[in-house]
Amino acid sequence: MNALALEPLNERRSLRDTVAEKLRAAIISGDLVEGQLYSAPVLGEALGVSATPVREAMMDLTREGLVETIKNKGFRVTGMTDKELEDIAAIRLLIEPEATKLAAQNHKAADIAKLTAMAQEIIAAAAADDIDGYLSADRDFHHELMGPCGNAELVELATSYRMRTRQYGLKSLMRERKLTTMAAEHLDMVKLMKKGDSDALHTLLIKHISHARGFWNVGDPNDEVKPKE
């Protein structure tokens, strides 16, 4: 097996959460390969931690549907078909723009300064080719953006589907410097939220998610999306 392209961890947040974040990003971006079986000791060695926090983190990722446990062997990254990816994108288009529109109608409850800082963090991560940072900041931003909608269950549901979305072409977008344009859309979202322009924000979210479907979900046309076993 080839050496895993995972950088050792440098910080101790909650170690379990930090490991989960790292592994989640590796799965979403395709660094951990669909259908491949990984053991906790091998992953722990690549990350510079023991096997225990890896096992704990993998339990979280199992609940998210990103991996499945193979008894006495380790964890397999679950595969997704093109149809499953399209279905998730369709669900996101139904719920994320609507949740964000509702949030904009209650825009006075939004923390604009916090959203602006988060949007700038996304842009900085895109410019620095920081995949882990980008995915984490993007998820947290959209969760915060939808927050004022007043329906916590809707926000959590939308976030869970965002976390399941595989973004196979993310590295290519970073290399081609296309991701910075999409990253900049987050600042536009903040401006519309501040104005309370719910219709324009709804439209922008549809555009934003459609970018994700067009560029990320299908990945590089030369790459094969592995079916579920």
The two beta strands, 67-70 and 74-77, are antiparallel
pLDDT for residue 2: 57
Please, where are the H alpha helices in the chain?
Answer: 15-29, 40-47, 51-63, 82-105, 112-127, 131-146, 152-164, 170-175, 179-195, 198-211
pLDDT one-digit tens code per residue, 114-154 = 999 999 999 999 989 888 888 889 999 999 999 999 999 99
Task: Indicate whether 226 pLDDT > 60.
Answer: no
Tally of residues, the chain: 229
Token readout for 157 is 């549901």
Q: Which residues contact 108 (CB under 8 A, 6 or more apart)?
A: 196
pLDDT at 37: 93
Residue 58, Cβ density class (10 Å: 0-12 exposed, 13-18 middle, ≥19 buried): buried
- 86 CB neighbour count, 10 Å cutoff: 14
Question: How much is the pLDDT for 227?
Answer: 34
pLDDT of 155-213, one tens digit each? 999 998 888 877 766 777 777 777 888 899 999 999 999 999 999 999 999 998 887 66
| pTM score of the predicted model | 0.79
Residue 11 has pLDDT above 60, yes or no: no
